[in-house]
Amino acid sequence: MRIKLAKQIFAFNLLWVVITLTAFAILINLSWWQLNRAEEKTQQLQRLAQLQSNGALRGAQLNQLSEIDIDGAPFQAQGRWLAPFIWLLDNQIVNGRVGYDVVVPVQAEGLSQPLLVNLGWLPATDRRDTLPHLQIPVSLKLDGLLRTQPDGLLLLGQNAENDGAWPMRIQQVSFAELSGISGLALYPALLYQQQTSDFLPHYQPVVLPPEKHRGYALQWFLLAVAVIGVALAASHHGKANNE
């Protein structure tokens, strides 16, 4: 009987150790991941600062540069909206309100290909089946930030609600798909306008600063230490009861 009880106690203690070490390992890995994210954000901010210090790019320069060179760079030019194409990027939340980002193709001076431009945000209508009525200026002063990998995630279903009418609702910006829909050979970058009178620019290249990630890393590390502390305290209490 004592042998059986001893085996049960040993099995319980072993399970407790495994659970404790597993939780500790998960929390430490989360802490390390947050530290890595902080380092990535620091490097990204440094690169953006360097690109800003170099001054804004022009259309002719984009014809010569690679995607890596232009990602995050400022861009300025005069452009012409290529009507009637207007895409509404769905599920954009600003100040707690749901709406769309307005994306249009623009022929910028000096650039051989049309450039997609995110003009900013506007609120959605009360009805899902009714899209906002838009007035897009034919001539646009482009002043914003270029990104070669726009935000957006398509989980299920189709991306573009392509019924042949404009504006057209989309779930993410896909250069290849929007090129196919419009028949335009779009330049593989999206310009986020920083200033506009008709829409609300809200794009931020870095949403969480490095300091936030370091704070989360410290929280995960303290939780890992707490797990070990609780396990040691429970083990000591168990030994005291046995004695």
Q: Rounded mean pLDDT of the chain? A: 83
DSSP 125: P
Q: Using an 8 Å Cβ cutoff, are 58 and 115 in contact?
A: no
pLDDT of residue 113: 93
Residue with the bigger pLDDT between 176 and 239: it is 176
Among 43-52, 161-170, 228-237, top mean pLDDT goes to 161-170
Q: Are strands 97-108 and 139-147 parallel, antiparallel or unpaired?
A: unpaired
Q: Determine the residue type at 226.
A: A
pLDDT (tens digit, 9 = 90+) per residue, 116-130?
A: 999 999 999 888 888
Determine the Cα–Cα distance for residues 44 and 39; give it in Å rounded to an integer.
Answer: 9
pLDDT over 60 at 240, yes or no = no
CA distances from 108 to 113, 175, 192 (A): 8, 17, 14
Burial class (CB in 10 A: 0-12, 13-18, 19+), 91: middle
Chain segment 153-191, per-residue pLDDT in tens: 555 567 888 888 899 999 999 999 999 999 999 999 999
Phi and psi of 197, rounded to 5°? -95, -25
Strand pairing partners for 160?
Answer: 170
Distance, in Å, from the CA atom of 111 to the CA atom of 170, rounded to the nearest integer, reads 25
- At 24, the pLDDT band (50, 70, 90 cuts) reads confident
Q: Which of 115, 83, 80, 121 is nearest to 102 (CA)?
A: 121
Candidates 84, 96, 97; CA nearest to 181 is 84
| CA–CA dist 61, 189 (Å, integer) | 14
pLDDT tens digits for range 88-144 = 999 999 999 999 999 999 999 999 999 999 999 999 988 888 898 898 999 999 999
Record the pTM.
0.75
DSSP H helical ranges for the chain:
2-53, 59-62, 67-70, 175-182, 210-242
